[in-house]
Amino acid sequence: MGYPDQRFAVNLSILFTELPLLERPAAAAAAGFSAVELWWPWTDSPEPGQSELDDLRKALGDSGTRLVGLNFYAGRLPGPDRGALSVPGEESDRFRANIDVAADFASSVGCKALNALYGNRAEGVDPAVQDELALQNLVAAARAADRVGAILLIEALNEAESPLYPLVSAPAAIEVVDRVNAVTGLGNARFLLDIYHLSMNGEDIAAVIDAHTAKTGHVQIADNPGRGAPGTGALPLEDLLDRLREAGYDGWIGLEYKPGDRPSARSFDWLPETARPAR
């Protein structure tokens, strides 16, 4: 029982942001972690130049860190955007342009999980039209992920912070997972179970774990309230992660929390150093 039995990855898009992007993998390694995850790092560019991709690949390699989760292009994160793939026009075009770029980069660094944020509801657009566009783009993303031996993740966010995002419950995200798998026949769409977002939605997290672990491909955590490190809020995170393990989940757990008013390197005191290296 307990944190030492888990596999943790540092989210470098919310932790170590006091450093330039290319310095963050080494900072995570210095803190004792060998696995990291990222939102799409180039928020204004779904197709960054080859030199930018090469530089990030080198930073990961030089630090000895493994990228275990990567978002497809999703607009401005953090910021008002919450995904692009269901937004008609320029944003969905940018998502489609990013699909193979992200998949190929993930493949080049051994990353096996690609997260596709659904996208906000757009004013004046029929939700059914957005949902059909989303399905088309998620199917294309699932096929690209399969091409490089990866899974496609579908994430539920929370309504309080993302009021225009339609997937604000575990069942809503699972429904999309099932729909994508039904169309592709690949079975590589999975649920991204983010404990913080589920708690913000008031869901029974233990019940979600019991019902949906078999369809879960990745987990992310932050405490609530505050989206801080474990122990800064009221969530029984250790118990919930133990429950996940007992339900059969043995994958990565992304540390997607805010460090607070201290340097990121000092936000891991809740986790013994012996529990940090990936195994």
* 40-53 b/e (C-beta count within 10 Å ≥ 16 → b): bbbbeebebeeeeb
Looking up tokens 């993998």, which residue turns up?
25
The model scores a pTM over 0.75: yes
Pair 150, 188: CB distance under 8 Å: yes
**Please, which residues have CB within 8 angstroms of residue 21's CB and are 6 or more apart in sequence?**
12, 41, 56, 59
Number of domains in the chain: 1
Parallel, antiparallel or unpaired: strands 189-194 and 151-155:
parallel
CA dihedral 25, 244, 3, 72 (to 10 degrees): 10
How much is the CA Rg of the chain, to the nearest whole Å?
17
Any residues with CB less than 8 A from the CB of 56 and at least 6 apart, and which? Answer: 21, 22, 41, 105
- Return the active site residues: 155, 256
Structure tokens at 40: 């799409």
Q: Which domain holds residue 262?
A: 3-275
- Is-cis flag, bond preceding 225, omega within 30? yes
Residue 108 sits in a domain of what CATH number?
Answer: 3.20.20.150
pLDDT in tens, the chain (279 residues): 357 678 999 999 999 999 999 999 999 999 999 999 999 999 999 999 999 999 999 999 999 999 999 999 999 877 777 899 999 999 999 999 999 999 999 999 999 999 999 999 999 999 999 999 999 999 999 999 999 999 999 999 999 999 999 999 999 999 999 999 999 999 999 999 999 999 999 999 999 999 999 999 999 999 999 999 999 999 999 999 999 999 999 999 999 999 999 999 999 999 987 777 654
DSSP label at 118? B
The span from the CA of 238 to the CA of 2, in Å, is: 6
